Structure 1
Amino acid sequence: MEPPAGPLGQQRLLRPGHARHLPARGRRGRAQGRRRIVGRRARLRRRYRRADQAPPQEQAEGLEQARRIERRRHLGRGRAPPPRLRARQEDQGRRARDPARLRTRGRPRRGAGQRLLRPRPPARPARAGLRGRLDRVVLVHKLREVVAQIGFTRFEAVMPDIDGELTLDVRPAALSREPTWVPAVENRGEGVFLGFSNDAIAAWLRRDRVQARGDQLLKGFDAWAGARRLDNAKFPGLPYLMLHSLAHLLIQAVALECGYAATAISERVYAGAAGHGILLYTGTPGSEGTLGGLVAVGKRIEHYLATALELGRLCSNDPICAQHRPDDRHEERFLHGAACHGCLLIAEPSCERRNELLDRALVVATVDELGAEFFVDP
């Protein structure tokens, strides 16, 4: 145990030779006061040293005895203990009844099997448009990512589908004729997971304007698959596009304050029968990815969600960006709705879909006012 900080602690020690800079009239009194302070510090250090070396039961008895002495001292002077002292005495009494808590200075010990995924119930959102949509927030204090190279491709990359499985539409070239191992790297980091309400997403999909926007995005996807002769390509669905676009907005909003650059934050979008959610994480081969920046973001996620929605409302290329149609064959941006480098596109290593399948009109209202946004203004 350490002596308390303040006028009796080690942080306020008087400097040697301090009395020489004082006037002659107050030097003697100040020197006596300094000797009293130093002597009281020595007594406190001895008391704390003895209490720290004593068994837990004796520590509890010593604190109880000190509490009785302080109370007797104040009662002997004809007055009751002040409220602050009374609160401290009650806290010491609670610690005395729990010796295990006394040894850890009031903090419970972390067990070896303590969970690293800590769910945090979301507080009351700062904006009414978030209520009923955010289901849960999970703080991922430690995360491990394994990246392996399995081959090479040209023109098109092998990307995972919404279930995390690699698509077989693109045929990669193997590293060798008979590969028995592949090069891999293990990254460690942290992250925050946002889970969204399945009922809110189902109600959003039943809206007429959302279905109309989905028809435009589906036509653009079919045109993209036909141009590349991908017969087995499957449209991931509107929930995936909405969550993917929201993840890009969150990465830009979070990177301003979390301590990581936007290029160091990656995404993982979950949109299937098991549920809907977004995982923002970072990982490095060393320990730089576990500094707690994204975990701190999860504790104020409502603020960052509101910031992300504000970023998505207006783009520097509006109204051209907001009025883009995915099925327009003249521009050949079939996998983009209201998305461009001024609003949604981020560094490709951070995106699991190479900056494709994006539309901020599904997240928040834009200047085009399509009425297909998931987060409706109150």
Structure 2
Amino acid sequence: MSNYVGEVRPSQYITTFGPGSIVDLPDYSIIMAGINKWPREYVSGARNIEEPRLKKMLNIQQIKSIPVKEKEGTLPAYKFPEYHVCPKCRRLGKYNGRDFVEEDGILYCKNPDQETPCNKIKTHPVRFITACKRGHIQDFPWLYFAHKEKEYDSKKCKLYLKDEGETGSISDLKVYCSTCKQERLLKQAFDSPKTLGKCFGDRPWLRDQEECDEQKQLLLRGASNIYFSSLLSSIVIPSDDYHDIESIIREKVDLNDEELMGDWSNFQFYYKRDTDIKRLGLERVWEIIRKIRRESGGKETVDLKAPEYKAFLREPYNYDGEEFEVEKAQVPDRYEGLIENLIRVKRLKEVTVLKGFTRLQPLPDVTTKLSSNAEEFESETSKEAPITNEQNYSWLPGIESYGEGIFFTINDTKLRHWEQDNELYEASMQNAHNKMHQERGREMSEIPSFPGVRYVLLHTLSHALMREITLHSGYSSSALKERIYSSKEEGMAGILIYTSTVDSEGSLGGLVELGKSINFEFILARALASAGYCSGDPQCAEHGGDKLIDVNGAACHSCLLESETSCENSNRYLDRTVLVKTVLNQQREFFND
């Protein structure tokens, strides 16, 4: 589309209205186009966002900011769905010139077949569409559905969407062909999706089609499960001080570039122009690269969270010219032996990249699979719908946001003893984890690994703290976010609670202020006290052990659940009983004093 139709903020484009999403406008609805449809001058002119770790993990060369221009539409979109309905005569029609009249992009009905003919009545998009698990989306098959798989002439048939009740429910709607005298209740499409036929593989955001054998599913145009953006984010951290040649090579050389890494002559020709690499000696660098790739199986693995964890704890704590400033605070005496480090994060920058999307259900643990097992990562991303149909795309859209936070770690020795004492509970939580994914139609081989009881403790503590911080920091609950650093193998047990915004480069300072020793002690004490009781008790506290529901124990909206924008794991893996004693006293609390 060349005409200006509306505006979205860069953060909205990344999270809600990205490629493949449907945006409702006053006169029609649109589907946002793929990034390969962006005008080339916008892509070239868009500012580059530097975050080497994300680029390596996504195997791309650039992260591009969303182009912004005043009084001018910068990103393309296409009208979808094509079918509209007249609010007066209930005629169904498309953008084909036969059913409705189009003026300035708006469809009008001038149906002469009624007792009272329509006189230029503005139509609106139908509220029913179809989609499949692979992300394909298309108009509801009105003609096919109305004629019950019988033959029909699409050029002669005239369809109507009749509402014969007073409730406006699906059971009152039926599609009727006045030419063939065929009709069918729309409720049948909900009761038996097979009546809709197989998916055609339509990708209207990319203007193409691919083979698909999935079953269509009927959805409302404004349903919340039409679009789940798949995001990958990282905290921008300063580079390690160069202490060996291997660190320099990992920073300067793309070890996943098969064309260069697989051939000495190509590598020599390309990197002889890189002064830093040439200074180290091309042959020496080549041998070290071969060693690194042999140890990693040919591909360099990228870990996003472990370097961040180390950066928060690393000296020095201030970096000139970096959007990263931290200050170590004294751990309160009351929690010495339980809390190991307390860090006030005075300044941080987060980079978020849109890499795809899903329909019907989000990817499992998409925000926590930031690194580690490459095979699991690939098995999940293969189910995403792409935002471009280019085979070898070199860039993805992203945003930068700035803010502040509090970071602290749990004593690893104490935590390991607690994990050993609660192995039976961990087994029950893992069974609930497997059962949840099996109920969603996943095979055992497709189920992501259980994050562990350590993660449940850290995640629950994070939610309890965020609820209390909201009351004292000046930030709303939806403004706070969490980042959980949990790995028994690497000894990670940390929590980052932070806030970041796209539109400003500063923060209110209320969160950092709560990172001071005396304030943090007060906040943590109140959070733990509040976690002991819930207005939903005793029913809330009963959920634990064999009664785990959807991998949550004692957790509900009254005590632990947060807004979806704040939680990194869709409000799952939460249980108050791992923190403190509840009314049922399950005897698994970590903070037992």
Does residue 260 of structure 2 align to residue 260 of structure 1?
no
Does residue 429 of structure 2 align to residue 217 of structure 1?
yes
> What's the counterpart of residue 563 of structure 2?
347
2-side partners of 1:376 and 1:289: how far apart? Answer: 38
| Equivalent position amino acid for 2:345 in 1 | V
> What's the counterpart of residue 330 of structure 2?
121
2-side partners of 1:190 and 1:235: how far apart? Answer: 30
> What's the counterpart of residue 305 of structure 1?
524
8 Å CA contact 1:249, 1:308 repeated in 2: yes
8 Å CA contact 1:188, 1:289 repeated in 2: yes
> What's the counterpart of residue 142 of structure 1?
347
8 Å CA contact 1:162, 1:270 repeated in 2: no
Q: 1:292 aligns with which of 509, 515, 531?
A: 509
SS of the counterpart of 2:588? coil
Structure number having the greater helix percentage: 1
State the shift of 1:149 in Å: 1.2
Does residue 420 of structure 2 align to residue 206 of structure 1?
yes
2-side partners of 1:211 and 1:373: how far apart? Answer: 13
SS of the counterpart of 1:251? helix
> Deviation per CA, 1:275-334, whole angstroms, max 9, x where unpaired?
211000100013375221111010021111101101110011111111114654xxx832
> Deviation per CA, 1:331-371, whole angstroms, max 9, x where unpaired?
x8321111111111010110000101111111111111110
Which range moved further: 178-187 or 307-316?
178-187
Change (3 A) 1:250 1:356: same
| Equivalent position amino acid for 2:509 in 1 | G
8 Å CA contact 2:401, 2:503 repeated in 1: yes
| Equivalent position amino acid for 1:220 in 2 | A
1-side partners of 2:384 and 2:585: how far apart? Answer: 42
SS of the counterpart of 2:466? helix
Q: 1:363 aligns with which of 545, 566, 579?
A: 579
Change (3 A) 1:292 1:119: same
Which range moved further: 159-168 or 241-250?
159-168
| Equivalent position amino acid for 1:212 in 2 | L
8 Å CA contact 2:368, 2:569 repeated in 1: no
State the shift of 1:182 in Å: 2.2
Does residue 372 of structure 2 align to residue 160 of structure 1?
no
> What's the counterpart of residue 397 of structure 2?
183
State the shift of 1:161 in Å: 3.1
8 Å CA contact 2:401, 2:505 repeated in 1: no
2-side partners of 1:223 and 1:326: how far apart? Answer: 14
Does residue 474 of structure 2 align to residue 249 of structure 1?
no
Give the number of equivalent residue pairs: 259
1-side partners of 2:590 and 2:501: how far apart? Answer: 34
> Deviation per CA, 1:167-203, whole angstroms, max 9, x where unpaired?
4436110101114432211100011101111011011
Which range moved further: 359-368 or 166-175?
166-175
> Deviation per CA, 1:221-262, whole angstroms, max 9, x where unpaired?
121122221524211100100000000000000010101111
8 Å CA contact 1:162, 1:271 repeated in 2: no
State the shift of 1:119 in Å: 1.3
> What's the counterpart of residue 63 of structure 1?
none
1-side partners of 2:522 and 2:509: how far apart? Answer: 18
State the superposition RMSD in angstroms.
2.2
Change (3 A) 1:266 1:318: same
Identity of aligned residues (%): 35
| Equivalent position amino acid for 1:117 in 2 | V
> Deviation per CA, 1:65-118, whole angstroms, max 9, x where unpaired?
xxxxxxxxxxxxxxxxxxxxxxxxxxxxxxxxxxxxxxxxxxxxx994697111
SS of the counterpart of 1:119? strand
> Deviation per CA, 1:100-147, whole angstroms, max 9, x where unpaired?
xxxxxxxxxx9946971111221322xxxx331000111111110111
> What's the counterpart of residue 497 of structure 2?
280
SS of the counterpart of 1:301? helix
TM-score when scaled to structure 1?
0.64
1-side partners of 2:473 and 2:581: how far apart? Answer: 27
> What's the counterpart of residue 169 of structure 1?
380
8 Å CA contact 1:326, 1:336 repeated in 2: no
1-side partners of 2:387 and 2:358: how far apart? Answer: 11
Does residue 585 of structure 2 align to residue 376 of structure 1?
no
2-side partners of 1:326 and 1:172: how far apart? Answer: 34
Q: 2:438 aligns with which of 226, 240, 252?
A: 226
1-side partners of 2:525 and 2:495: how far apart? Answer: 16
| Equivalent position amino acid for 2:426 in 1 | G
Change (3 A) 1:325 1:152: same
SS of the counterpart of 2:346? strand
TM-score when scaled to structure 2?
0.42
8 Å CA contact 1:162, 1:269 repeated in 2: no
2-side partners of 1:182 and 1:264: how far apart? Answer: 25
Matches for 1:48-87 after TM superposition, within 5 Å: none
Change (3 A) 1:111 1:312: closer
Q: Which has the larger radius of gyration?
A: 1
State the shift of 1:155 in Å: 3.1
Does residue 338 of structure 2 align to residue 133 of structure 1?
yes
> What's the counterpart of residue 195 of structure 1?
409
2-side partners of 1:326 and 1:176: how far apart? Answer: 45
8 Å CA contact 1:162, 1:236 repeated in 2: no
Matches for 1:12-31 after TM superposition, within 5 Å: none
SS of the counterpart of 1:271? strand
SS of the counterpart of 2:540? coil
2-side partners of 1:157 and 1:302: how far apart? Answer: 37
| Equivalent position amino acid for 2:527 in 1 | A
Structure number having the greater strand percentage: 2
Structure with more relative contact order (C-alpha pairs < 8 Å, separation 6 or more): 1
Change (3 A) 1:237 1:112: closer
